[in-house]
Amino acid sequence: MTPNKFTAGIFLVFAIVVLGVWIPNDVETGLLEKMRRHWVIGDSLAPTLAAGFVLIGAVLILLFETQDEAQFTMVSAQFVFFLKLVIVILVALSVMRHLGPILVNTYVAISGLDLEYRLLRDMIGIKHIGFLIGGVIMVGGMITVVEGRLSRRALIIGLIWSLVLILVYDLPFEDLLLPPNGDV
């Protein structure tokens, strides 16, 4: 068994446990809930989608991985690869969390207006900037780590997927704030 298949097997078991045990036993609402004549996201939507994608990826690796045992990569190279992915994700999450407030505070300092981010966090554009730029960094950065080089294509894919997530998760729901706006 190759290292990739072994890792895929671990993630397959993890996804099955999340989908079959954790979500049904711990999450009280469904994928979508109808409240007061409009649909809102249920508590199980995000973990179900995430576990579903992990499950699909694990199954694809188990079915189509053809790496020969002789091509076993060094543990240190895998660790460096994993570390690069973790750094990309941490930087992207930091940008998502802090970019909106930094931009508003900078604007307040320049203009002299008495505004704070909490009052503007539901305003179109302001509520999306951190999520959009952080999403581009996360998706584009992960593609860059995998490909070993930064490309315009990786950034465009990151931009498209960030916009898709905004369209799917933010626009249909009036009372939803994209991360991190619900926490700020």
Residues 47-102: tens digit of each pLDDT: 899 999 999 999 998 888 776 555 555 557 777 888 999 999 999 999 998 998 89
Average pLDDT over residues 110-117: 81
Reference 182, options 101, 118, 133, 134; nearest CA is 118
| Average pLDDT taken over every residue of the chain | 85
pLDDT of residue 108: 83
- Residue 67 confidence (pLDDT): 60
Residue 112, phi-psi category: left (phi > 0), alpha (psi -120 to 50), beta (remainder)? left
The percentage of the chain sitting over the pLDDT mark of 90, rounded to a whole number, equals 41
As to burial, measured by CB atoms within 10 angstroms (0-12 exposed, 13-18 middle, 19+ buried), residue 125 is: exposed
pLDDT for the residue numbered 64:
85
Instruction: Please tell me which residue, 184 or 83, carries the higher pLDDT value.
Output: 83
**What average pLDDT does range 19-28 have in this prediction?**
87
What is the distance between the alpha carbons of residues 115 and 152, in angstroms, rounded to a whole number? 36
pLDDT at 182 over 70: no
Q: Which range has the top average pLDDT, 21-35, 43-57, 72-86, 170-184?
A: 43-57
Please report, for the chain, the start and end positions of each structural domain, with discontinuous segments joined by +.
1-72, 73-184
